[in-house]
């Protein structure tokens, strides 16, 4: 027996094959020494060099060896003729070659009449004719020889032998139990092969057509290139080819590359001198320069980030803590959603510079976009390309500038955006700031979705009141309150002084500003929550020092508290200190302004009249209503303080807040007005060392207020030792540095009687 690799022999089939295995060569030699008969069976796995019974098909063919020829490299070529089909029963290794036990039981005979026989013969002949038309390998001469056989059984066996079938198909025909089953299997194979050939032909035809089309386009393109060279328009063609090359090298999705190739194709069809050509170039270059899938490697070193933030900024613990939390989460998750942080605080408190430091700490690209005064929605979303002078929006332009898809993008002055007939700018920002939507942000100019999910957005604002609620809801607000005098001193010594000395061309040894001088600048020449004005004053000293060094030949300049006025002139600001003695109808209130906290003296006088309430000092609507509520509350205390029932009908009450040119409004002067009015009406003095803040209800409840740190700072600068604060603000005090509240008594109140008990010098 010889195991056959990838080859199945059928009865009556004549073929030659090569053998190289020692067992197969010895089997042929043994057969030639006896009756030249050998059993051929196909291996199921052609790679098996020593197949056993399990790796051999059940049926094989006994064959007569017609010829044996020895070839080089120990290869033997054998020519055989298939004789009879047999079932393999067993295999044994006998004297160095395989010996098979075979059952040559005859096939099952099936009886069928002449008409059926004729129908089956014609059906097979028809299939063979159609097959020969589709398969060029099956020649017409072979078809003619088969059709001449006429007999059904001979035709079936001849077709099985001569058709170009695969090994598995021949094995299936060999294993058929009778001639009818073999006929049916053969017809099924023919029909299936014809379908495969037909589909294969259609595919090849499409490929051929596509190749022909590409060939035609290539020829036409070369012709167009020659024509453009003759017309002097070859630059556009070379640019287009360059754009195609850049698109292939672009780190982007197939959708983006396909869009660029399509636009480049349009560019090729435009004349080089046409206006549309320049527009098309700008659009293609914008697409090529956007960072579709290009990212930068972020730093994950928490200690380094903390060190950089501490170096660049003094204080601001909440901001630093939040940035380090974000970095820790990013390090653990490897990605994570980038938050949209909103730094809210007065001008000059370092919001913009904090964002720059965060970018440096995280090793991110830094892009700043200022929205102050932006009215047009297209500034955010971009202009549609149909408009003349269209360009991408500021977000897409910022991504283009950054060059990576994960920069830190600072959206400055987000509270200053406005809307008009050209659209609502803040509404356009909703998609940018929504982490669920910004992964597919659509710019009208770009027309392709831009992924903003990995951008770390940081917005800045002076006040949240002017930010639309839906936009504010998408941001995580971090309050940056004003600096204390001590904090300003540290910032000036660590950052501002060094910065201004370098900026004005001086050396560190040439200028010395003492601590008392810095304290004098802070108290007498600045009045703000931030340090911008402080930096300007230090810069002013540096400029005067530079002039003095050049003109007088001085080696160095020393600025102390005594000679400060020489460089800055007389003091600009004096904080209104507390009154020297208790007075009737005068109460010190606390106010929050856009540049920090301040104290306000509320003065009340009563005089004969018609019961009118007069309000002066440019009060806003909220403060006017607070005053009316305060009067109503004081009237309700008539019996408790023995106020004449006719007093309010026969006397006018005048409420005045000094500095009348400055507009004032806010919901925190209610208890101050009520105390001042009651003091004026009942002629009881108010303690001069007490300041207060809080809103009042008609029934005398005290409501919470905002901007508490700035107000306490103002109270401290005015020398106030006792501050009345709403009970609901007790939790806010825990977040304020002890430096602010040190040496100050805070009294928490829920109702107006508690306020009066502390504030009035003579208690009722």
Catalytic residues: 668, 711
CA atoms within 13 Å, Cβ hemisphere of 601: 19
Determine the Cα–Cα distance for residues 55 and 218; give it in Å rounded to an integer: 54
Backbone angles phi, psi at 621, to 5 degrees: -60, -40
Compute the C-alpha angle 673/676/682, nearest 5°. Answer: 135
- 305, 323 contact by CB (below 8 A): yes
* Distance, CA of 13 to CA of 158 (rounded, Å): 8
Q: Provide the token pair at 486.
A: 């001590």
Nearest-10 Cα torsion for 741, 744, 750, 756? -160
Separation CA 717–CA 713 (nearest Å): 6
Q: Which residue has the tokens 């090849």?
A: 204
From CA 221, how far away is CA 240, in angstroms rounded? 12
CA–CA dist 413, 458 (Å, integer): 11
CA distance 450 to 439: 7
Sign, Cα dihedral of 305, 310, 312, 314: positive
Q: Can you read off the two tokens belonging to residue 487?
A: 């904090």
Residue 531 near residue 314 (C-beta atoms within 8 A)? no
Cα-flanking dihedrals φ and ψ of residue 380, to 5°?
-95, -50
Q: Report strand pairing: 449-450 vs 511-513.
A: unpaired
Which among 236, 244, 241 has a CA at the least distance from the CA of 261?
244
Closest CA to 724 of 588, 593, 631: 588
Of the candidates 64, 3, 60, 8, the one whose C-alpha atom is nearest the C-alpha of residue 37 is: 64
Taking the alpha carbons at both ends of the chain, their separation in whole angstroms is 127
* Residues β-bridged to residue 349: none
Q: What is the dihedral of CA 421, 425, 430, 431, to 10 degrees?
A: 90
């Amino acid at each position: 027996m010889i195991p056959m690799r990838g080859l199945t022999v059928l009865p009556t089939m004549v073929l030659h094959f090569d053998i190289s295995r020692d067992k197969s060569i010895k089997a042929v030699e043994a057969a030639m020494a006896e009756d030249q008969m050998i059993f051929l069976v196909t291996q199921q796995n052609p790679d098996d060099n020593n197949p056993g019974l399990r790796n051999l098909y059940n049926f094989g063919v006994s064959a007569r060896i017609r010829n044996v020829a020895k070839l080089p490299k120990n290869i033997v070529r054998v020519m055989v003729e298939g004789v009879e089909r047999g079932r393999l029963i067993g295999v044994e290794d006998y004297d160095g070659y395989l010996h098979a036990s075979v059952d040559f039981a005859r096939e099952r005979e099936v009886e069928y009449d002449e008409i059926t026989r004729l129908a089956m013969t014609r059906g097979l002949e028809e299939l063979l004719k159609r097959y020969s038309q589709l398969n060029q390998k099956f020649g017409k001469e072979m078809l003619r020889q088969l059709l001449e056989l006429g007999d059904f059984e001979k035709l079936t066996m001849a077709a099985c032998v001569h058709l170009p079938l695969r090994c598995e198909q021949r094995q299936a025909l060999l294993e058929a139990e009778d001639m009818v089953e073999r006929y049916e299997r053969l017809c099924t194979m023919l029909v299936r092969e014809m379908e495969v050939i037909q589909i294969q032909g259609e595919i090849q035809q499409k490929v051929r057509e596509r190749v022909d089309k590409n060939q035609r386009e290539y020829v036409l393109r070369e012709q167009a290139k020659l024509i453009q060279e003759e017309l002097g328009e070859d630059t556009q063609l070379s640019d287009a080819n360059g754009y195609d090359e850049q698109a292939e090298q672009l780190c982007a999705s197939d959708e983006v590359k396909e869009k660029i190739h399509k636009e480049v194709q349009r560019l090729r069809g435009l004349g080089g001198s046409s206006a549309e050509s320049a527009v098309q170039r700008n659009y293609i270059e914008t697409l090529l320069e956007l960072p579709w899938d290009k990212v930068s490697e972020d730093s994950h070193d928490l200690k380094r980030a903390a060190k950089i933030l501490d170096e660049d900024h003094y204080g601001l613990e909440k901001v630093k803590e939040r940035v380090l939390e974000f970095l820790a989460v990013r390090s653990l998750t490897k990605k994570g959603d980038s938050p949209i942080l909103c730094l809210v605080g007065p001008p000059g408190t370092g919001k913009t510079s904090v964002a720059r430091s965060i970018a440096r700490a995280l090793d991110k690209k830094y892009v700043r976009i200022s929205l102050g005064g932006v009215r047009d929605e297209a500034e955010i979303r971009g202009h549609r390309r149909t408009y003349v002078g269209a360009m991408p929006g500021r977000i897409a332009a910022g991504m283009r500038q950054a060059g990576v898809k994960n920069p830190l993008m600072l959206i400055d002055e987000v509270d200053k955006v406005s809307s008009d007939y050209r659209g609502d700018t803040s509404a356009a920002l909703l998609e940018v700031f929504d982490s669920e939507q910004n992964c597919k942000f659509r710019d009208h100019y770009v027309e392709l979705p831009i992924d903003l999910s990995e951008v770390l957005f940081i917005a800045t604002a002076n006040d949240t009141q002017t930010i639309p609620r839906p936009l504010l809801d998408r941001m995580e607000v971090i309050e940056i309150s004003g600096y204390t005098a001590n904090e300003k001193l540290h910032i000036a010594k660590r950052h501002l002084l060094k910065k201004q000395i370098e900026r004005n061309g001086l050396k560190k040894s040439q200028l010395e500003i003492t601590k008392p001088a810095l304290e004098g600048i802070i108290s007498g020449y600045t009045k703000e929550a931030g340090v911008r004005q402080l930096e300007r004053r230090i810069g002013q000293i540096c400029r005067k020092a530079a002039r003095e060094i050049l003109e007088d030949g001085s080696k160095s300049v020393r600025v102390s508290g005594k000679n400060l006025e020489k460089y800055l002139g007389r003091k600009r600001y004096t904080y209104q200190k507390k009154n020297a003695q208790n007075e009737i109808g005068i109460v010190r209130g606390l106010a929050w302004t856009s540049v920090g906290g301040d104290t306000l003296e509320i003065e009340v006088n009563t005089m004969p009249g018609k019961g009118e309430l007069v309000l002066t000092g440019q009060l806003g609507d909220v403060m006017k209503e607070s005053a009316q509520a305060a009067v109503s509350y004081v009237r309700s205390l008539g019996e408790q303080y023995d106020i004449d029932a006719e007093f309010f009908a026969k006397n006018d009450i005048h409420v005045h807040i000094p500095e009348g040119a400055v507009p004032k409004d806010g919901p925190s002067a209610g208890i101050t007005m009520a105390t001042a009015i009651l003091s004026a009406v009942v002629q009881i003095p108010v303690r001069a060392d007490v300041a207060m803040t809080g809103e009042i209800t008609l029934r005398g409840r005290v409501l919470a207020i905002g901007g508490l740190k700035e107000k306490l700072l103002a109270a401290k600068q005015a020398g106030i030792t006792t501050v009345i604060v709403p009970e609901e603000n007790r939790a806010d005090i825990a977040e304020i540095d002890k430096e602010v509240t040190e040496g100050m008594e805070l009294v928490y109140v829920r109702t107006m009687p508690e306020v009066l008990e502390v504030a009035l010098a003579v208690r009722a």
